[in-house]
Structure 1
């Protein structure tokens, strides 16, 4: 049996095909996180994504430390790093407040775009990357995702507490600690 082929693949109609590398990877991650949430539940899915986020956070921390030529970043350098890394992947984060107790960031654009809606487990990438970088440089971080685009908010509000709390009533979010070398 002989197959008749087109003269060129570039001549194939593509009006309805919206595939590109970015959209393919975004949809793959969305579908993977959705499958995990459906099969093993939101908590377990978040845990799985947290593992990946911690690894990415560790790698990014090393890159930014090299960029700043330091073994330990300052609070200002950590803030710059968190905003810059999200900017590079089309996030819209900005630091709105920095105190001795916390770094507060707000976000208007998720790197995953609309694909993140309904996929709360995907927010563990932000939590773990931010938590890992902050804790490795400042000793401790507790990341609280106060508002997220994934859960239907207009934007994200992330509070990174810089000191552990003795009160169980004050503990919200995920805690991160500096790894012993």
Structure 2
């Protein structure tokens, strides 16, 4: 066991009260990366870079859920359940507020990034992209609107996943996603 010498004794390093473990380290890493991106290239471009990562993760999660469920496409109800489940698995607290053929509305009481997301709105592109990719790959289209976010200082999140291109989704701000043909 590694120790460190102090003036009067040797202290095992493993016994030091240092807030360092894998989960906290990775959340700090992502926070710092997003902060550097926001500072260097701006919020819009930082969100774009994070979107690419979110898209790749969304594609993998979509495949993982479909394989585990033994389906090639998810129903609207399954999409909603998958979005809640994937966030639960990474310590988010998302829940379905409402769902119908036009949209899925989700609330959230706890971000997977915890307090590390505050002041880093670009990190919310992970949610937008993962949700948008999973919904669009099974339902053909999605537009994700982040109406409220913990990152922007709201008490919780309110995320609307529009499932059809219509007047309501056209009027909403957000990112559009389309089914990949590959």
Give the TM-score taking structure 1 as reference length. 0.92
Which residue of structure 2 lines up, in the alignment, with residue 83 of structure 1?
Answer: 84
C-alpha contact 2:143 2:169 (8 A) present in aligned 1? no
Which residue of structure 1 lines up, in the alignment, with residue 43 of structure 2?
Answer: 42
Segments of 5+ residues of structure 2 without an aligned counterpart are none
Cα drift, residue 12 of structure 1: 5.7
Distance in structure 2 (CA, Å) of the matches to 1:167 and 1:12: 56
Segments of 5+ residues of structure 1 without an aligned counterpart are none
Partner SS state of residue 179, structure 1: coil
Distance in structure 2 (CA, Å) of the matches to 1:69 and 1:8: 57
Cα drift, residue 69 of structure 1: 0.5
Which segment is superposed worse, 43-52 or 157-166?
157-166
Cα drift, residue 165 of structure 1: 2.9
C-alpha contact 1:82 1:130 (8 A) present in aligned 2? yes
* Residues 131, 9 of structure 1: alpha-carbon distance in 2 compared, 3 angstrom cutoff: farther
Give the TM-score taking structure 2 as reference length. 0.91
Distance in structure 1 (CA, Å) of the matches to 2:157 and 2:86: 16
C-alpha contact 1:106 1:155 (8 A) present in aligned 2? yes
C-alpha contact 1:140 1:176 (8 A) present in aligned 2? yes
Which residue of structure 2 lines up, in the alignment, with residue 96 of structure 1?
Answer: 97
How many aligned positions are there?
Answer: 177
Which residue of structure 2 lines up, in the alignment, with residue 14 of structure 1?
Answer: 16
Which segment is superposed worse, 91-100 or 162-171?
162-171
Give the 4+ runs in structure 1 shifted more than 6 A.
none
